[in-house]
Amino acid sequence: MDIDLKTCTEEELWKLVAVHLKKKGIDTILVGGAVVSIYTKGLYRSGDLDFIHASMFVKGLEEA
């Protein structure tokens, strides 16, 4: 996926980064303001991407 980093949306950038991380075996979840930006179709702009590692929700699940 080729995108123009100067004009891309946060959703386009998120997809690019998430796919790259997934190829490296890193499963992530997008959180924070970028989610609001995507949900509001750009009415809000956070200016950054915040990720958490998806496994943080899996560890200890069986014990819980």
Residue range 1-19: mean pLDDT, rounded: 86
Burial (CB < 10 A; 0-12, 13-18, 19+), residue 37, is buried
What is the structure's pLDDT at 23?
92
pLDDT over 80 (residue 61): no
The pLDDT tens digits of the residues spanning 16-60 come to 999 999 999 888 999 999 899 888 987 888 888 999 888 776 666
Number of structural domains (the chain) is 1
Asked if the structure places residue 4 within a domain, the reply is: no
49 is a domain residue = yes
Kindly state whether residue 61 falls inside one of the protein's structural domains: no
d(CA 45, CA 24): 28
Q: What is the pLDDT of residue 45?
A: 82
Domain range spanning residue 51? 15-56
Instruction: Tell me, yes or no, whether 33 lies in a domain.
Output: yes
CA distances from 38 to 13, 21, 48, 61 (A): 11, 19, 12, 29
Cβ neighbors of 33 (< 8 A, separation 6 or more) are: 44, 45, 46, 47, 48, 50
